[in-house]
Amino acid sequence: MHRLRTPIRRKLLFATLTPLSVAILLSWLIGATLITDRIFRQAQQKVVGDLNSARKVYWGEIEHLSGTVKVAGLSSDLSAALRAGKFSGNKGMLHKLLQSEQLSFINIIDSRGIVRYRAANPRAAGDSLANDPLVAQALLGTAAGGSQVYDRLRLARENPALAKAVSIGIKATPRSRSTTRDSEERGLLLVAAAPLLAADGSVSGVLQAGRLLNGDSRVVDTITRMVYEREERGAATIFLGDVRIATSVRDAGGERATGSLMSSEVASLVLEKNKLWSDRAFVLNEWYFSAYEPILDPDGTTIGALYVGMPERPFLTMRTNINLIFGGVLAFVALIGIALSGWISNKLARPVRALAEGARRMAAGERIEPIVVDTHDEIALLADEFNTMAREVSTLNSTLEQKVERRSAQLAEKNQQLLAIQKELAKAERLSGLGLLAAGVAHEINNPLAIIRGNTELLQDELPEGAEEREEVEAIMQEIGRIERIVSNLRVFSRSGLKRISSFSLG
């Protein structure tokens, strides 16, 4: 009997575990993909929602500044001082406003757009801001606010301290656009302008105020606290161009990453194409779920960007942990499946092995005990059929043995008959030989005997009656008759010895 190369138990295990393994693997891959996609999609959607909140905070600062300027502009003292050209009586109020609101400058502008008084730099006056869109709108009687970029000279004119505060050193940043600048000398400011109304309600001038955002973390910290509660969970940034001028993003040393640059792909979309970015982005030194939107000046020109984002690392850790838990659950299910498959395959293989052993014993002619299978399936049906076949084979073997014995006895009897016939044939052959010999002898004797008889009869006819020789001739005739009788007997013997041989059945 040949050794089985692949036992049926192993085949059953393979047939069971292969689809189970494929199903578990596909479940893990699909589950991991869906979980990862859902986590990342929800994180990105949250960042987009956070950007809306950040925008509200940013514009809330502008609206607060506009409201402050608008309320201050309602003072009749400022309108009267503007008409008189004397602002000494208003210095205290304006400086108090500068300090309480932490403003960078406050200006009083006449109806022609000429700066009449700078609270942060009283000696600088007389320049025209008529082309400033916010001032122009305020001169029309409507308070306005927005974001504006001032160069260093403009900042120095508004407040000499701003010329020093505005400078931000540019840091080399991975994935950013190449630049030859060493520092950013421009300033991004929140600016508001409100009309100064005369007693008759006409616009007599404009009250303008602004706050420099370069290096000022108040807005971004407010956004971070409101949206993320802690900096580890997310960050906010205000860009001037592609330079971070205010941020809660920290570098490797734990310092604010002021002066680092926006990634080139984000800058191309947000700053150049004036579009919203909502996707993963490389921020400083790692990947973030990010959202950027352009900051526009009152003329609609993109001057910077507002950013919020969450580091991707915690979500990757979360994904890994979830995948590990999910994988552990699937592994546990796989172990249960393996154990169950082993038990089922062993249960199915056991009766098959019993059938194989029964077939081997049947082939060897050994006695076969009935195979009992305690199931109600096709294998049990096969076992019943096998037992029936075994009984029929056993009965057939017994009947065949009886037939063989009976045939053997008949064959022995026929063999005895054949031996007797063979003896008779041998005897007949011997007699036949003697008969042929006798016939030949008789034939050989008969010819000369006929001549002798003829001559003797002639001699007898020639001799007279009473001749002495006649007695001897008669004696010769008597002997001739005797010889004829002997020849006749030989002929009879030869004819009786000729046997006829014919075929006959031994069965």
Q: Is the pLDDT of residue 342 over 60?
A: yes
CA angle centred on 504, ends 503 and 507, rounded to 5°: 145
pLDDT mean over 10-24: 74
Q: Comparing 228-242, 273-287, 293-307, 473-487, which segment has the lowest mean pLDDT?
A: 473-487
Of all helices (H) and strands (E), which one includes residue 145? strand 144-150
pLDDT of 362: 72
Query: Rounded CA gap, 198 and 252, in Å?
Result: 56
Confidence of residue 266 (pLDDT cuts 50, 70, 90): very high
Six-digit token string for 322: 């979830």
Confidence of residue 231 (pLDDT cuts 50, 70, 90): low
What's the Cα-to-Cα distance from 235 to each of 42, 51, 55, rounded to whole Å?
A: 17, 11, 14
pLDDT of 504: 53
pLDDT of 360: 76
pLDDT mean over 256-278: 95
- In 3D space, the residue among 141, 144, 107 whose CA is nearest the CA of residue 126 turns out to be 107
pLDDT mean over 474-496: 77
Query: Rounded CA gap, 442 and 81, in Å?
Result: 192
More confident position, 157 or 315: 157
Of all helices (H) and strands (E), which one includes residue 296? strand 286-296
What is the tens place of the pLDDT at every residue in 3-12? 555 666 676 6
Contact by Cβ (8 Å): 134, 298: yes
Collapsed DSSP state (helix, strand, coil) of residue 506: coil
Q: How many CB atoms lie within 10 A of CB 411?
A: 13
What backbone phi and psi angles, to 5 degrees, belong to 213? -95, -15
pLDDT of 6: 61
- In 3D space, the residue among 283, 261, 255, 286 whose CA is nearest the CA of residue 182 turns out to be 261
pLDDT of 485: 82
Query: Rounded CA gap, 394 and 206, in Å?
Result: 122
Beta strand 187-197 with 144-150 is antiparallel
* Residue the block writes with tokens 């049990």: 380
What is the tens place of the pLDDT at every residue in 391-441? 777 777 778 777 888 888 888 888 888 888 888 887 777 777 777 777 777
Q: Comparing 73-87, 124-138, 283-297, which segment has the lowest mean pLDDT?
A: 73-87
What is the tens place of the pLDDT at every residue in 120-154? 999 999 999 999 999 999 999 999 999 999 999 99
In DSSP terms, which residues pair with 208 in a beta bridge?
Answer: 107, 193
pLDDT mean over 254-260: 93
Q: Comparing 47-56, 170-179, 304-313, 488-497, which segment has the lowest mean pLDDT?
A: 488-497
More confident position, 3 or 290: 290
Query: Rounded CA gap, 219 and 165, in Å?
Result: 17
Query: Rounded CA gap, 310 and 315, in Å?
Result: 9
Confidence of residue 1 (pLDDT cuts 50, 70, 90): very low
Which residues neighbour 298 within 8 Å (Cβ) at sequence distance 6 or greater? 133, 134, 137, 144, 146, 148
pLDDT of 9: 65
Contact by Cβ (8 Å): 223, 240: no
pLDDT of 506: 53
- How many residues would you count in the chain? 507
- In 3D space, the residue among 283, 277, 287, 289 whose CA is nearest the CA of residue 262 turns out to be 283
Q: Domains in the chain, please, with CATH?
A: 49-317 (3.30.450.20), 388-496 (1.10.287.130)
More confident position, 186 or 496: 186
Query: Rounded CA gap, 200 and 150, in Å?
Result: 35
In DSSP terms, which residues pair with 118 in a beta bridge?
Answer: 107
